[in-house]
Amino acid sequence: MPDYKAPLRDIRFVRDELLGYEDHYANLPGAEDATPDMVKAILEEGAKFAEQVLAPLNLSGDQEGCTRTDDGEVRTPKGFKEAYQQYVEGGWPGLSQSPEHGGQGLPESLGLSIGEMIGQANWSWSMYQGLSQGAKRTINAHGTEVQQQVYLPKLVSGEWTGTMCLTEPHCGSDLGMLRTKAEPQADGSYRISGTKIFISSGEHDMAENIVHIVLARLPDAPAGTKGISLFIVPKFLPDANGEAGERNALVCGALEHKMGIHGNATCVMNFDSATGFLIGPPNKGLNCMFTFMNVARIGTAMQGLAHAERAFQGAMSYARERLQMRSLSGPKHPEKPADPIIVHPDVRRMLLTTKAFAEGGRALMYFCSKQSDIASRSNDEAQRQEAESLLALLTPIAKGFLTETGFEAAYLGMQVYGGHGYIAEWGMEQNLRDARISTLYEGTTGIQALDLIGRKVLGSQGETLKAFTRIVHRFCKANAENEAVADLVKQLATLNKEWGEVTMKLGMAGMQNPEEVGAAAVDYLMYAGYVTLAYFWADSARVAAEKLAAGTSEENFYRGKLHTAKFYFQRILPRTRSHLAAMEAGRGSLMDIEEGEFLAEG
C-alpha cells in the first residue's frame, strides 16, 4: 500500500492563497488565537498524527474488521483503541469546541482541515470521532443547560463518543414511518424501545461511554414526520458526578457485514426500555436532528474528497514507477526496458481527473467551512445570513457531487494500477470499497438532489442559488479581461447564466407536474457540482497565474494548477452538456413505462 502523505501544500494553497484564511481569522470574533504560526503548527502536528499513527492501521483495520462478543460488546481492530487514546491525549477532540465545555475555541474550519487528513489516512477510524462532532453540535443547540453540563465536557474531551440513530429496518430514509417508542416516566425521563440499523460506531471499545442521539415517537405523537421527538440515550447513565455509571438497556444486536469500512462498527442497535432524555420540544425531533444531519452531510462530503485524494496519491506514485510499453511519440526513457505509464495519454487522463476532483473538492469544502465560521461567529447579521444561504445551497451539492466524483476517482485510481489494482496489498481496491458507502448514507444522491432543487432552490424562489451565482458573476466580471484566465472565465460566465435559466425552466415545468423536478433532480445536482467546481478551478488558475507572473520558486506547483484547470474545463466540464440534455428531456421516458414493461417476460 502506498504511504499516505498529508497534502499540506495544497491545504495551505486553498486556505491562505485562494480563500484568504489569514484575514478571515483576523476578522473572525473569537479566533484571535488562530495566528498563522499557531495554524501552521497545528496542521503539521495533525499531519504527523495522520501519517504516522492512523495511516499504518488502514489496511490492517480493513483486514481484521470489528468483532462482536456474545454479550453484544464490540472489539475494534488492533491499534484503533490505542490510536484513539493518543488522539484524546493530544487534545484533538476539543480543538474547535467552546472553552466553556473544555474546548480550545479555535475555528471550526481549522478542525475541518485536521478532519480531512484524519479521514484520508484512515476513514474507518475517523468515523468514531467524526460522529461525535454532530452529537456535540446537537446537544449544544437543543439540549437543556443541565444536559449540556453533563454531556458536552465528556464529548468535547473525547472521553465519550456520539452516534446518530435514525434508520429502522422498514423505513430507510422515510423517517415518518419510524416506530421506536418513547414512554414518559414520572422522573421526567423516557423509556426508549425499538431497533435502529446502520448505526456507525454504535458500539466499540475505544471510549468510556457512547451517547446515542435517537429519534423516537411519544405515545400521543401525530403520524408522519410531525410526530418525531429526539432523545439522548447513553450506553452508561451518568452518575451524580457526571461519570459513566449504570449500564443502560441497549445493546448491539449484530454487526452489519459490509462492502467496505470494515474497521468501523456498523451496528444494529436494540433499545429495550432504555432510559432516554428528551432534547428540544416534543414532536420537533426531526427539526433538531437536522443540526446533526447537516454536520454529517458535510462530513460525508469530506469522505468524497478523502477518497479522491487517496486515489490520486496512490495512482500517481504507481504511474511514475510502473514500466509498461513505450510512449506513442517515441521512448522517453530509452535506458529502461519500457517507459513509466505516466507517459501514456489515458493514464494522464485518469491522473488529472482524480487530481481535479481532489483539489477542486478541497476548495469547495474549505469555502463551505469558511461560511460555517461566519454563520456561527460573525457579529454582522447580513454576513451571517449570506453564509447560511450559501451553506444551504452548497451542502447538498458538496455531499452529493463530491461523493459521486470521489467514487469515480477511487475507481480511476484502481484502474491506473491495472490488475494490481484488484489486489488488496496495493490499497486501491479498499479505497474503492470504502468510498462506495459515501453516496448512500446521510441521504443518497437522489435525496440530496431533491433537497437541492426542491427545498433549497425552488423552495426559496431561487434566492439561495443567487447567493452563490452572484459570487461567480462578480468573479467573471472582474476577470473578463484577465488574459491568463479569460478563456475559462468566458465559459464559466456562460454556464453561470445557464444555471439560472435551466432552474427557471424546471420550476415552471414542476408547477405543471412535480415529477418533472424529480426526473431532473440528480442531473441538476451533478450539473450544479460541475459548474461550482469550475468556479473554484478558474479562481485557482487566477491565483496560480499571479504567482507565476510575480516570480516563484514553486513553478511546478503553480503550473500544475494552471494545467489542471485547463484540463478540467476542456475534458470534465463538458459533462454539463449531457446533464442539461437529460434535464430537458423531461419525465416521459422515465415515467411513461408501465411496471410490467420492465420485465423481459411477455
Which pLDDT tens digit goes with each residue over 23-38? Answer: 999 999 999 999 999 9
Residue 132 confidence (pLDDT): 94
For the segment 266-289, the average pLDDT, to the nearest whole number, is 95
Decide: helix, strand or coil at residue 1. Answer: coil
pLDDT digits over 199-222, tens only? 999 999 999 999 999 999 999 999
Return the H-helix or E-strand segment holding 212: strand 209-216
Tell me how crowded residue 440 is: count the other CB atoms within 10 A of its CB. 14
Using a pLDDT cut of 90, give the percent of the chain over it. 94
Residue 535 confidence (pLDDT): 98
For the segment 278-301, the average pLDDT, to the nearest whole number, is 89
For the segment 134-149, the average pLDDT, to the nearest whole number, is 95
The pLDDT-based confidence of 1 (bands split at 50, 70, 90) is low
Q: Does the pLDDT at position 602 exceed 70? A: no
Q: Does the pLDDT at position 120 exceed 90? A: yes
For the segment 515-534, the average pLDDT, to the nearest whole number, is 98
Active site (annotated) includes residue 442 = yes
User: What's the whole-number average pLDDT of the chain?
Assistant: 96
Name 480's Cβ contacts closer than 8 Å, sequence gap at least 6.
486, 489, 490, 493
Q: Does the pLDDT at position 544 exceed 60? A: yes
Return the H-helix or E-strand segment holding 238: strand 236-238
Name 5's Cβ contacts closer than 8 Å, sequence gap at least 6.
51, 313
Q: Does the pLDDT at position 353 exceed 90? A: yes
The pLDDT-based confidence of 83 (bands split at 50, 70, 90) is very high
> In the structure grid, which three cell numbers stand for residue 483, read together?
488574459
If phi > 0 it is left, if psi is from -120 to 50 it is alpha, else beta; for residue 155 that is alpha
Q: Does the pLDDT at position 16 exceed 60? A: yes
For the segment 505-511, the average pLDDT, to the nearest whole number, is 97
Q: How many residues does the chain have?
A: 602
Strands 160-165 and 209-216: parallel
Residue with cell 506547483: 557
**Catalytic: which of 108, 359, 442, 516?**
442
Q: In whole angstroms, give the CA distance from residue 103 to residue 100.
A: 7
Q: Does the pLDDT at position 172 exceed 90? A: no
